[in-house]
């Protein structure tokens, strides 16, 4: 397969290495310094694009791929206010748009555990949930996309919470789920769901040891998506 890398930072480089180790070719490596090179590429030679750039570049990159009939796999976070427009474009173009806040198989299992725990907590009282996430200092968006996905999982399943707020920026109500974001090098990513009470605490957590799991997951999705159409997610890929 011929893969276009939209974004060639630390994640893009690891994705490229994994893709080539699995027998794929890299059609191009686009980043902030050579954005104009997109115009020189022949879309017909590209089987799929993988987008791990910056929030400010994501919308343009994704639109370009969809308008050129290129399936696109997206892991960039921090641009999701524009996601409805991208989903509309994907459907209008009969294209293939795949977004995940996290491509790690372990994290996606963690998402399911988080939702199951939230359902269980409806059966008791006195516990207040919160989320803490820790990433490296180069990560621009806060909270992380993974933390937002975790928060959405809690909100869908826990009746006592109906919104989330970022600690230190907005004041949450009793029905708001607080997210604390920390930026500490060299942490690749830790997410903790904590239910506190006067009697005890319940915690579940996921800690990434490297970016390899995220990158491998993105390449595996890129291998899967060319025969698919529509707006897709890890639930479609993993089927659980």
Active-site positions? 135, 139
Closest CA to 46 of 63, 22, 29, 21: 29
In whole angstroms, what is the distance from residue 95 CA to residue 98 CA?
10
- 3-state SS track over 61-129: HHHHHHHCCCCEEECCCCCHHHHHHHHHHHHHCCCEEEECCCCCHHHHHHHHHHHHHHHHHCCCCCCEE
HSE-up of residue 64 (Cα within 13 Å, Cβ side)? 24
Buried b (16+ CB within 10 A) or exposed e, 207-219: ebeebebbbbbbb
Which stretch of DSSP H or E encloses residue 21?
helix 10-21
């Amino acid at each position: 397969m011929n893969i276009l890398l939209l974004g060639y930072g630390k994640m893009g480089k690891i994705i490229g290495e994994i893709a080539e180790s699995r027998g794929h070719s890299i059609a191009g490596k686009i980043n902030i310094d050579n954005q104009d090179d997109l115009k020189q590429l022949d879309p017909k030679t590209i089987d799929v694009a993988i987008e791990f750039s910056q929030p400010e570049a994501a919308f343009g990159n994704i639109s370009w791929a969809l308008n050129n009939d290129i399936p696109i796999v997206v892991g960039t976070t921090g641009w999701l206010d524009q996601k409805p427009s991208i989903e509309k474009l994907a459907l209008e173009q009969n294209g293939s748009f795949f977004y995940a806040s996290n491509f790690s198989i372990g994290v996606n299992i963690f998402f399911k555990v988080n939702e199951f725990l939230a359902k269980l907590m409806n059966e008791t009282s006195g516990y207040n949930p919160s989320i803490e996430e820790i990433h490296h200092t180069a990560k621009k968006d806060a909270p992380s996309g993974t933390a937002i996905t975790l928060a959405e999982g809690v909100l869908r399943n826990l009746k006592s919470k109906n919104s989330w707020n970022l600690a230190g920026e907005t004041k949450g109500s009793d029905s708001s789920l607080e997210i604390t974001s920390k930026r500490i090098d060299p942490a690749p990513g830790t997410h903790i769901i904590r239910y506190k009470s006067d009697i005890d605490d319940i915690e579940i957590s996921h800690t990434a040891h490297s970016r390899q799991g995220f990158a491998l997951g993105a390449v595996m999705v890129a291998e899967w998506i060319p025969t698919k159409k529509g707006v897709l997610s890890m639930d479609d890929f993993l089927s659980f």
